[in-house]
Structure 1
Amino acid sequence: MAAESNNLEETLRPFYQRASEAEDRLARLEASLARNQGSGNDEQLKLVGDLQSQLESAKAEQLAEREKATKELQRLATENAKLEYRIIHLVRALKEAGSKPVAKSGELETGKTKTCEESQLREMMMDEDDMSSMSEMQRRMYTE
Protein backbone atom coordinates (compact mmCIF):
# COMPACT_ATOMS: atom_id res chain seq x y z
CA MET A 1 0.00 0.00 0.00
CA ALA A 2 2.81 2.33 0.79
CA ALA A 3 4.22 1.64 -2.62
CA GLU A 4 0.87 2.35 -4.23
CA SER A 5 0.45 5.66 -2.35
CA ASN A 6 4.04 6.58 -3.26
CA ASN A 7 3.32 5.74 -6.86
CA LEU A 8 0.07 7.74 -6.72
CA GLU A 9 1.91 10.78 -5.29
CA GLU A 10 4.52 10.53 -8.02
CA THR A 11 1.78 10.36 -10.63
CA LEU A 12 -0.12 13.33 -9.16
CA ARG A 13 2.99 15.48 -8.53
CA PRO A 14 3.01 17.01 -12.09
CA PHE A 15 -0.69 17.78 -11.71
CA TYR A 16 -0.12 19.50 -8.34
CA GLN A 17 2.79 21.42 -9.81
CA ARG A 18 0.70 22.60 -12.80
CA ALA A 19 -2.16 23.50 -10.46
CA SER A 20 0.23 25.52 -8.30
CA GLU A 21 1.60 27.31 -11.38
CA ALA A 22 -1.95 27.98 -12.57
CA GLU A 23 -2.83 29.49 -9.18
CA ASP A 24 0.25 31.71 -9.35
CA ARG A 25 -0.65 32.87 -12.86
CA LEU A 26 -4.23 33.50 -11.74
CA ALA A 27 -2.99 35.60 -8.81
CA ARG A 28 -0.76 37.63 -11.13
CA LEU A 29 -3.62 38.13 -13.61
CA GLU A 30 -5.98 39.23 -10.84
CA ALA A 31 -3.37 41.70 -9.58
CA SER A 32 -2.82 42.99 -13.11
CA LEU A 33 -6.55 43.30 -13.66
CA ALA A 34 -6.95 45.20 -10.41
CA ARG A 35 -4.23 47.65 -11.48
CA ASN A 36 -5.83 48.09 -14.92
CA GLN A 37 -9.26 48.64 -13.44
CA GLY A 38 -7.83 51.28 -11.14
CA SER A 39 -6.33 53.18 -14.05
CA GLY A 40 -9.50 52.62 -16.06
CA ASN A 41 -11.51 54.16 -13.26
CA ASP A 42 -9.11 57.08 -13.19
CA GLU A 43 -9.61 57.56 -16.92
CA GLN A 44 -13.37 57.34 -16.54
CA LEU A 45 -13.32 59.80 -13.64
CA LYS A 46 -11.22 62.18 -15.72
CA LEU A 47 -13.63 61.84 -18.64
CA VAL A 48 -16.62 62.48 -16.38
CA GLY A 49 -14.87 65.52 -14.91
CA ASP A 50 -14.13 66.88 -18.38
CA LEU A 51 -17.72 66.37 -19.46
CA GLN A 52 -19.00 68.09 -16.31
CA SER A 53 -16.76 71.09 -16.89
CA GLN A 54 -17.90 71.32 -20.52
CA LEU A 55 -21.52 71.13 -19.37
CA GLU A 56 -20.98 73.89 -16.82
CA SER A 57 -19.32 76.15 -19.38
CA ALA A 58 -22.14 75.48 -21.87
CA LYS A 59 -24.72 76.35 -19.20
CA ALA A 60 -22.88 79.57 -18.36
CA GLU A 61 -22.69 80.48 -22.05
CA GLN A 62 -26.40 79.75 -22.50
CA LEU A 63 -27.26 81.88 -19.47
CA ALA A 64 -25.17 84.77 -20.81
CA GLU A 65 -26.85 84.51 -24.21
CA ARG A 66 -30.29 84.43 -22.57
CA GLU A 67 -29.50 87.55 -20.52
CA LYS A 68 -28.20 89.29 -23.63
CA ALA A 69 -31.36 88.36 -25.56
CA THR A 70 -33.54 89.58 -22.67
CA LYS A 71 -31.75 92.93 -22.60
CA GLU A 72 -32.07 93.24 -26.38
CA LEU A 73 -35.78 92.44 -26.16
CA GLN A 74 -36.25 95.09 -23.46
CA ARG A 75 -34.33 97.62 -25.54
CA LEU A 76 -36.46 96.87 -28.59
CA ALA A 77 -39.67 97.07 -26.57
CA THR A 78 -38.62 100.48 -25.23
CA GLU A 79 -37.72 101.67 -28.71
CA ASN A 80 -41.04 100.39 -30.02
CA ALA A 81 -42.93 102.25 -27.29
CA LYS A 82 -41.06 105.46 -28.14
CA LEU A 83 -41.85 105.08 -31.82
CA GLU A 84 -45.52 104.39 -31.12
CA TYR A 85 -45.63 107.47 -28.88
CA ARG A 86 -44.12 109.51 -31.70
CA ILE A 87 -46.69 108.12 -34.14
CA ILE A 88 -49.54 109.11 -31.84
CA HIS A 89 -48.28 112.67 -31.67
CA LEU A 90 -47.65 112.87 -35.40
CA VAL A 91 -51.18 111.65 -36.11
CA ARG A 92 -52.57 114.17 -33.62
CA ALA A 93 -50.59 116.96 -35.31
CA LEU A 94 -51.92 115.87 -38.69
CA LYS A 95 -55.49 115.88 -37.43
CA GLU A 96 -55.05 119.34 -35.96
CA ALA A 97 -53.60 120.61 -39.21
CA GLY A 98 -56.11 118.64 -41.29
CA SER A 99 -58.21 121.66 -42.10
CA LYS A 100 -55.35 123.23 -44.02
CA PRO A 101 -54.74 121.96 -47.55
CA VAL A 102 -51.48 120.16 -48.08
CA ALA A 103 -49.60 120.73 -51.30
CA LYS A 104 -49.28 117.64 -53.41
CA SER A 105 -46.44 116.94 -55.77
CA GLY A 106 -48.58 117.80 -58.80
CA GLU A 107 -49.49 121.17 -57.35
CA LEU A 108 -45.84 122.03 -56.83
CA GLU A 109 -45.14 121.48 -60.50
CA THR A 110 -47.95 123.81 -61.53
CA GLY A 111 -46.34 126.64 -59.63
CA LYS A 112 -48.43 126.77 -56.46
CA THR A 113 -46.41 127.69 -53.41
CA LYS A 114 -46.31 125.93 -50.07
CA THR A 115 -46.19 127.56 -46.71
CA CYS A 116 -43.67 126.57 -44.07
CA GLU A 117 -46.40 124.75 -42.14
CA GLU A 118 -47.32 122.71 -45.19
CA SER A 119 -43.69 121.68 -45.64
CA GLN A 120 -43.50 120.60 -42.04
CA LEU A 121 -46.74 118.63 -42.33
CA ARG A 122 -45.46 116.94 -45.47
CA GLU A 123 -42.28 115.92 -43.64
CA MET A 124 -44.33 114.69 -40.69
CA MET A 125 -46.49 112.60 -43.01
CA MET A 126 -43.39 111.04 -44.53
CA ASP A 127 -42.02 110.32 -41.05
CA GLU A 128 -45.36 108.80 -40.07
CA ASP A 129 -45.28 106.45 -43.07
CA ASP A 130 -41.77 105.38 -42.16
CA MET A 131 -42.74 104.93 -38.53
CA SER A 132 -45.94 102.99 -39.23
CA SER A 133 -44.10 100.54 -41.46
CA MET A 134 -41.39 100.18 -38.84
CA SER A 135 -43.97 99.68 -36.12
CA GLU A 136 -45.75 97.06 -38.23
CA MET A 137 -42.47 95.18 -38.75
CA GLN A 138 -41.83 95.20 -35.02
CA ARG A 139 -45.37 94.00 -34.28
CA ARG A 140 -44.89 91.10 -36.68
CA MET A 141 -41.58 90.30 -35.04
CA TYR A 142 -43.17 90.12 -31.58
CA THR A 143 -46.18 88.05 -32.67
CA GLU A 144 -44.16 85.40 -34.52
Structure 2
Amino acid sequence: MLKPFYRRAVEAEDRLSRLEANLSSKKEAGNEEHVKVTTDLQSKLENADAELVAEKEKAQKLVGENERLQYRVVHLLRALKEADLKLEQVSTQKQLESLKLQDS
Protein backbone atom coordinates (compact mmCIF):
# COMPACT_ATOMS: atom_id res chain seq x y z
CA MET A 1 0.00 0.00 0.00
CA LEU A 2 2.92 2.39 0.65
CA LYS A 3 4.75 1.38 -2.53
CA PRO A 4 2.92 3.90 -4.75
CA PHE A 5 3.68 6.68 -2.28
CA TYR A 6 7.29 5.61 -2.06
CA ARG A 7 7.58 5.47 -5.88
CA ARG A 8 6.02 8.94 -6.20
CA ALA A 9 8.36 10.27 -3.49
CA VAL A 10 11.39 8.88 -5.36
CA GLU A 11 10.13 10.41 -8.63
CA ALA A 12 9.58 13.74 -6.88
CA GLU A 13 13.09 13.64 -5.46
CA ASP A 14 14.50 12.87 -8.92
CA ARG A 15 12.57 15.76 -10.46
CA LEU A 16 13.69 18.03 -7.63
CA SER A 17 17.33 17.00 -8.18
CA ARG A 18 17.04 17.70 -11.92
CA LEU A 19 15.39 21.07 -11.26
CA GLU A 20 18.10 22.01 -8.75
CA ALA A 21 20.80 20.98 -11.21
CA ASN A 22 19.12 22.99 -13.98
CA LEU A 23 18.74 26.01 -11.71
CA SER A 24 22.37 25.71 -10.59
CA SER A 25 23.62 25.60 -14.18
CA LYS A 26 21.50 28.63 -15.07
CA LYS A 27 22.88 30.49 -12.07
CA GLU A 28 26.42 29.61 -13.12
CA ALA A 29 25.75 30.77 -16.68
CA GLY A 30 24.20 33.95 -15.32
CA ASN A 31 27.12 34.42 -12.96
CA GLU A 32 29.56 33.92 -15.82
CA GLU A 33 27.74 36.59 -17.78
CA HIS A 34 27.76 38.92 -14.79
CA VAL A 35 31.45 38.25 -14.24
CA LYS A 36 32.13 38.98 -17.93
CA VAL A 37 30.15 42.25 -17.80
CA THR A 38 31.81 43.23 -14.53
CA THR A 39 35.26 42.48 -15.92
CA ASP A 40 34.49 44.49 -19.04
CA LEU A 41 33.27 47.43 -16.97
CA GLN A 42 36.32 47.26 -14.70
CA SER A 43 38.57 47.28 -17.75
CA LYS A 44 36.79 50.32 -19.16
CA LEU A 45 37.01 52.07 -15.79
CA GLU A 46 40.74 51.38 -15.55
CA ASN A 47 41.24 52.74 -19.08
CA ALA A 48 39.22 55.85 -18.21
CA ASP A 49 41.27 56.33 -15.03
CA ALA A 50 44.51 56.01 -17.02
CA GLU A 51 43.25 58.57 -19.53
CA LEU A 52 42.25 60.90 -16.70
CA VAL A 53 45.72 60.68 -15.16
CA ALA A 54 47.33 61.34 -18.55
CA GLU A 55 45.06 64.34 -19.16
CA LYS A 56 45.81 65.73 -15.69
CA GLU A 57 49.55 65.44 -16.36
CA LYS A 58 49.11 67.11 -19.73
CA ALA A 59 47.09 69.90 -18.10
CA GLN A 60 49.80 70.43 -15.47
CA LYS A 61 52.46 70.69 -18.18
CA LEU A 62 50.33 73.20 -20.06
CA VAL A 63 49.82 75.25 -16.89
CA GLY A 64 53.59 75.34 -16.35
CA GLU A 65 54.23 76.30 -19.95
CA ASN A 66 51.54 79.00 -19.75
CA GLU A 67 53.17 80.46 -16.64
CA ARG A 68 56.56 80.56 -18.37
CA LEU A 69 55.07 82.24 -21.42
CA GLN A 70 53.25 84.82 -19.29
CA TYR A 71 56.53 85.56 -17.51
CA ARG A 72 58.22 86.09 -20.87
CA VAL A 73 55.38 88.35 -22.08
CA VAL A 74 55.67 90.52 -18.97
CA HIS A 75 59.41 90.93 -19.47
CA LEU A 76 59.08 91.54 -23.20
CA LEU A 77 56.47 94.24 -22.55
CA ARG A 78 58.73 95.82 -19.96
CA ALA A 79 61.66 95.77 -22.38
CA LEU A 80 59.47 97.25 -25.11
CA LYS A 81 58.37 100.10 -22.83
CA GLU A 82 61.98 100.78 -21.88
CA ALA A 83 63.00 100.79 -25.54
CA ASP A 84 60.14 103.17 -26.39
CA LEU A 85 61.17 105.45 -23.54
CA LYS A 86 64.82 105.48 -24.67
CA LEU A 87 63.74 106.14 -28.25
CA GLU A 88 61.57 109.01 -27.04
CA GLN A 89 64.46 110.42 -25.00
CA VAL A 90 66.82 110.18 -27.97
CA SER A 91 64.23 111.82 -30.20
CA THR A 92 63.66 114.60 -27.66
CA GLN A 93 67.39 115.10 -27.24
CA LYS A 94 67.87 115.37 -31.01
CA GLN A 95 65.08 117.92 -31.20
CA LEU A 96 66.72 119.94 -28.45
CA GLU A 97 70.09 119.80 -30.20
CA SER A 98 68.42 120.82 -33.43
CA LEU A 99 66.78 123.79 -31.70
CA LYS A 100 70.10 124.78 -30.09
CA LEU A 101 71.80 124.68 -33.48
CA GLN A 102 69.07 126.83 -34.97
CA ASP A 103 69.32 129.34 -32.14
CA SER A 104 73.06 129.63 -32.56
TM-score normalised by L of structure 1: 0.56
Give the corresponding residue for 2:96.
none
Give the corresponding residue for 2:102.
none
Work out which structure has the larger RCO, using CA pairs closer than 8 Å and 6 or more positions apart in sequence: 1
Give the corresponding residue for 1:70.
60
| Larger helix proportion of the pair | 2
- Which ranges of structure 2 fall in alignment gaps of 5 or more residues? 93-104
TM-score normalised by L of structure 2: 0.74
Give % identity. 42
Residue from 32, 37, 40 that aligns with 1:47: 37
- Please give the root-mean-square deviation of Cα atoms over the aligned residues, in Å: 2.1
User: Across the two proteins, how many residue pairs are aligned to each other?
Assistant: 92
| Structure 1 runs of 4+ with >6 Å offset | none
| Counterpart code for 1:50 | D
Give me the whole-angstrom Cα distance separating, in 2, the residues matched to 1:77 and 1:59: 27
